[in-house]
Amino acid sequence: MKKTFPLHVEGKHPDRLLDATKHEIRKYMKRERNRALPEGVDFWDFDCRFGATEQTAVVAHPAELIGLIDAAAKEGGTQFYIEILAKHGVRKPRDPSAAATIANFLEE
């Protein structure tokens, strides 16, 4: 998803428009996560960028997006650009020595 969302539209309340925008973003991410995983992939990960325009967009963590949208609305911006691209994610195995440390901690 690469899209510029307006924050002010004639005839629509800004708060409802903001809620609808957040809902659309959450719905897109949920739909992407529910797609079938290819062989050898553990989960869907996302590359995200956020900014006032496409040229000023910077890399952002998916968990920070809603907060960034709220901040953009509070600052009085007229629009924001968001880019969310799904990518393959593979979990890294845990370090066995770290697991032993946790077990020792729990015994104490």
pLDDT at 93: 81
Cβ 87 vs Cβ 44: under 8 Å: yes
- Return mean pLDDT, the chain: 91
The span from the CA of 103 to the CA of 108, in Å, is 9
Chain position carrying tokens 């996560």: 33
**Tens digits of per-residue pLDDT, 68-106?**
999 999 999 999 999 999 999 988 887 766 656 665 666
Give which of 80, 88, 67 is closest to 8, Cα–Cα: 80
Cα torsion angle, 23, 29, 33, 34, sign:
positive
pLDDT at 7: 94
pLDDT exceeds 80 at position 9? yes
Domain boundaries, the chain: 2-107
pTM of the predicted protein model: 0.81
The span from the CA of 75 to the CA of 82, in Å, is 17
pLDDT at 94: 74
